Structure 1
């Protein structure tokens, strides 16, 4: 790519673009710039204009360049493996994202084919919204996980919902997992009502592990469709209940207690209450609640347990209730709660339940 074209794309020089279209062959606009510094973006004119957020340059090029030239520009990958749509999502430019996707929406009969420098027919090369970076991230992964922008994510998701929902990056992250983890409710809901999707998450986590970051409706959908994931254990040894206790959000526990999920309620407030982490501490959810310094979490866990075992009086308690469970260090949740003045309230709550403590 010559210096004038590179500078015009970077700066958004529409005047230069108009003159070049009138005097240059189409091949001139397909040239690429490779920077000497790998930290700097390279590629064709659309990569460069996307990087510097020059939407007007995009519009002018899309009005003046032939459709087949635009198609090649949109599908070309730069030296980092990024197409212009990936760059636009990375710099968080919704306007350019819409311009690129709008090209394909307005040319719905267009034959999608890989760029000219490719010798295969992979869809991720012919459709920019399925483009993959070197870390196997699609534009949707970027719009959800790296530069969260729910509007951009929804625009991209609408292009190929089923395919995009199934794509997992090289860290094991599915779009659903990232949407729940980032609290992007509209994206999560759209994925959950689709016919198929991946639930894969980084380090063995599932979307349910991070459901407290989303809305009540998202949690309900996750419970309806992915109940078995409550048994999933991540690489820290955390099941869903451990993770929820650490996030210090009370409303998900209340939803399970008060909602129409009896099977979930029984599993959460009986079986999982005694589960310990696989890490060096071997904590139960109540241990983690005591460490979180949020007395409300400990109290709602205890309330759920008492409700499930049908104990209204201390004399009705089982021999070993969860607040007597010891971790690998030999500590009960009470020991942990007594270790800090910030957790005095939860310690008093444990003592009120059981005089034998």
Structure 2
């Protein structure tokens, strides 16, 4: 086989594979090896490809070897428009990799490309991306500017996802690229809403929290503010979703009416903010447009309903602070449900408790089936599905009804169903609490006879009895022991009526156990301080620091719900 045959490496299917030496030369930019392998009189050698259909020019562009690429183009200029397996031209690869010098070389060749042939500047790969799309997508700002200088109109080309380089640049925060694109006077359908979920460039800038780009687009392309994505969301819906307060302010300052626009689900931006728990956006929206709280969606639900359904207690708290009319808090949807009804139906205990603490919320309202929020929660009592959180809520609802609904007709109160011996999980809970409480009582009882610092052998009086720390020890130790004794007796009697115990005593049993544990921590810290501090202070202070941080660690891990017991 002659030298040329070796370099071309034709397989059984007739495909020409690249010579390994040429591959190494292209990836390393070895011009001298290229000149040895390629004959200027026979440029077909350079048409050989890798399995991914990359030519030597693709490899040089990808690795940034401008001199090598120039030599290749000098031998075979047609390689400039050859696509690889992904449909990428060498300019696409240079744009992705951010190889600026190679890109300038390829762009200059593309500018001089014959007008009767498709220019590399407008060629797209399989994703429908031009080289400019790829440069912006990979955040190659300087390279994108070079491409825009060569052909400014490419900034509005749409790919398969209906995204233009302007969309991408706005999302990625490439201010210089955005300014370059919007400065070019382009006539066409640039203001048509996108057929995809991505919306307009303004939507993308809002999503990316690029406020400078939002300002540029509002100034240079003001018509974008009225456009929506395929779900009917305008840019303010996006700002509300992402809780971008500054974007909300910018958009409302430009067009206040945006706050009253609905998407295809009939949701206003305030609904969206409530759904996603965007408290900063809620604050901004209600400050500019306080009456937007009156808007309802297709189910007749306002922002209070939405925040409850989505379980966003922070959003509900923000709404309660800023919305005044009581009618909005007690408004019924098309199914006759108030926000409190929805909280009860969907086990949104935290939201329900927030609503109950607000005097404007009426717990006496009945839905279309005659249920109050209390009777809705009550349904789970007989099925055994009610957990400790809902039991606590049930008690609060009963209490509020008793206080505020005496003159109204209400559903009858349920009685405690009798359930004994059929709840294995409940048995384990009771056994665990009895065991823990017994251990605490045993330890604290023994600590009473081994007081820190010891006793006076003659009269039996504690040697450190006059210290404040000792007095704190005695009190905390007593609290721990007495609390645990109460828990033991409570749980011993739990078997008399397990369901009633779950509702009325279990939560307090759990809380007393927590109190006993906290009191034991205090006993530990004071005992160590009394016995260790006189000889060496720093170990005593370390123990105190660890002890005081323990409750904070527990709350951090379990949240405020640590005061409840899951049953």
- Contact map agreement 2:275 2:306 (CA 8 A) in 1: yes
In structure 2, the residue matched to 1:348 is: 320
Aligned CA distance change for structure 1 residues 98 and 225 (closer, same or farther; 3 Å) = same
SS of residue matched to 2:121: helix
Q: How far does residue 48 in structure 1 lie from its aligned partner after superposition?
A: 2.8
Deviations, residues 159-213 of structure 1 (Å, cap 9, x unaligned): 1112x12422122112212211222211111111111163564516111222323
In structure 1, the residue matched to 2:80 is: 74
1:32 counterpart (48, 72, 75): 48
Per chain length, whose mean CA-contact separation is higher, i.e. which structure has more relative contact order (CA < 8 Å, sep 6+)? 1
Q: How far does residue 292 in structure 1 lie from its aligned partner after superposition?
A: 2.1
Tell me how far apart the structure 1 counterparts of residues 251 and 20 of structure 2 sit (CA, whole Å): 62
1:190 counterpart (155, 163, 180): 180
TM-align CA RMSD: 2.9
Q: How far does residue 289 in structure 1 lie from its aligned partner after superposition?
A: 0.7
Q: How far does residue 157 in structure 1 lie from its aligned partner after superposition?
A: 1.6
SS of residue matched to 1:277: coil
Q: How far does residue 214 in structure 1 lie from its aligned partner after superposition?
A: 5.6
Aligned CA distance change for structure 1 residues 130 and 5 (closer, same or farther; 3 Å) = farther
Tell me how far apart the structure 1 counterparts of residues 72 and 94 of structure 2 sit (CA, whole Å): 20
TM-score of the aligned structures, taking structure 2 as reference length: 0.49
Q: How far does residue 245 in structure 1 lie from its aligned partner after superposition?
A: 0.9
User: Which one is further off, 200-209 or 171-180?
Assistant: 200-209
1:47 counterpart (44, 47, 58): 58
Q: How far does residue 337 in structure 1 lie from its aligned partner after superposition?
A: 2.9
User: Which one is further off, 325-334 or 5-14?
Assistant: 5-14
- Contact map agreement 1:323 1:350 (CA 8 A) in 2: no
Tell me how far apart the structure 2 counterparts of residues 6 and 202 of structure 1 sit (CA, whole Å): 45
Q: How far does residue 103 in structure 1 lie from its aligned partner after superposition?
A: 5.1
1:209 counterpart (190, 203, 207): 203
Q: How far does residue 236 in structure 1 lie from its aligned partner after superposition?
A: 2.0
- Contact map agreement 2:200 2:227 (CA 8 A) in 1: yes
> 1:251 and 2:243 equivalent?
no
Aligned CA distance change for structure 1 residues 254 and 231 (closer, same or farther; 3 Å) = closer
In structure 2, the residue matched to 1:316 is: none
Q: How far does residue 34 in structure 1 lie from its aligned partner after superposition?
A: 5.5
In structure 2, the residue matched to 1:131 is: 123
Computing the radius of gyration from Cα coordinates, the structure with the larger value is 2
Structure 1, unaligned stretches of length 5 or more?
Answer: 36-40, 115-120, 307-320
- Contact map agreement 1:174 1:199 (CA 8 A) in 2: no
Structure 2, unaligned stretches of length 5 or more?
Answer: 1-7, 10-18, 330-567
In structure 1, the residue matched to 2:114 is: 113
TM-score of the aligned structures, taking structure 1 as reference length: 0.74
How many residue pairs are counted as aligned between the two chains?
304
Aligned CA distance change for structure 1 residues 148 and 189 (closer, same or farther; 3 Å) = same
> 1:304 and 2:304 equivalent?
no
Tell me how far apart the structure 1 counterparts of residues 72 and 247 of structure 2 sit (CA, whole Å): 53
Tell me how far apart the structure 2 counterparts of residues 184 and 155 of structure 1 sit (CA, whole Å): 14
Tell me how far apart the structure 2 counterparts of residues 7 and 354 of structure 1 sit (CA, whole Å): 74
Aligned CA distance change for structure 1 residues 302 and 104 (closer, same or farther; 3 Å) = closer
Tell me how far apart the structure 1 counterparts of residues 50 and 160 of structure 2 sit (CA, whole Å): 25
> 1:100 and 2:75 equivalent?
no
> 1:59 and 2:70 equivalent?
no
> 1:292 and 2:276 equivalent?
yes
2:297 counterpart (295, 307, 327): 327
Tell me how far apart the structure 1 counterparts of residues 168 and 217 of structure 2 sit (CA, whole Å): 14
Q: How far does residue 10 in structure 1 lie from its aligned partner after superposition?
A: 5.7
SS of residue matched to 1:148: coil
Q: How far does residue 257 in structure 1 lie from its aligned partner after superposition?
A: 5.2
